[in-house]
Amino acid sequence: MASTCPVCGKSIDEAAAKAPTGQTKFGAQEVDPAQGTRQFYDGKWYYFDSIQCRSKFVAEHKDV
């Protein structure tokens, strides 16, 4: 299943973006940013092709 980056419109391999690579010190699942990344916002997961796009999205949605 593929998603599209809400920031730049690039298509993302959702499965790759979801693949866990480890855990952060807060216990949250961490994914490989090279394979895309995601952010839970407003009740659903948003997928991004890069950390840069996610940062941009988060900056535009300060209530995340």
Residues 23-62 that bind Zn ion (CB under 5 A): 49, 53
Q: Is the dihedral of CA 45, 36, 9, 52 positive or negative?
A: positive
Q: Which of 4, 8, 19, 40 binds Zn ion (CB under 5 A)?
A: 8
Hey, what amino acid is at 13? D
Q: Which of 3, 5, 37, 47 binds Zn ion (CB under 5 A)?
A: 5
Tell me if 13 sits within 8 A of 35, measured CB to CB: yes
Under rule CB under 5 A, residue 17 binds Zn ion:
no
Chain residues binding Zn ion by CB under 5 A are 5, 7-8, 10, 49, 53
